[in-house]
């Protein structure tokens, strides 16, 4: 099946939303979750490769979120370490 204009419009709207705002228990969209949501909402089920291609065509980038530890670090200690590393260079 092929994506319609309404499918693309809904995709563009939904991909920018937090899934929890729509009542889902998860907070990150995956292509599979998007596909299933849009199947329910629009009634069109794309194949996984079609969904990925559609995201790419519309300049949406997807991938695993990168979790850092920056929020757990002491800011002053981190800044001092960065300055020390710069001096070593």
Its pTM surpasses 0.75: no
Nearest partner of 23 among 11, 35, 37, 9, judged by Cα? 37
- The three-point CA angle 52-55-58 to 5° equals 150
Residue 66 has pLDDT above 80, yes or no: no
Question: If phi over 0 gives left and psi between -120 and 50 gives alpha, with beta otherwise, what is residue 57?
Answer: alpha
The 10s digit of each residue's pLDDT in 7-60 is 999 999 998 899 999 999 998 899 999 999 999 999 999 999 999 998 888 888
For the chain, domain boundaries: 5-88
pLDDT score for 72? 73
């Amino acid at each position: 099946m092929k994506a319609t204009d309404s499918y693309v419009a809904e995709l563009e709207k939904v991909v920018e939303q937090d899934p929890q705002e729509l009542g889902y228990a998860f907070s990150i969209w995956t292509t599979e979750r998007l596909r299933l949501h849009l199947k329910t909402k629009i009634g069109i089920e794309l194949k996984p490769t079609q969904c990925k291609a559609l995201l790419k065509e519309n300049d949406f980038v997807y991938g695993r979120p990168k979790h850092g530890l920056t929020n757990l670090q002491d800011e002053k200690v981190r800044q001092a370490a960065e300055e020390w590393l710069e001096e070593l260079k």
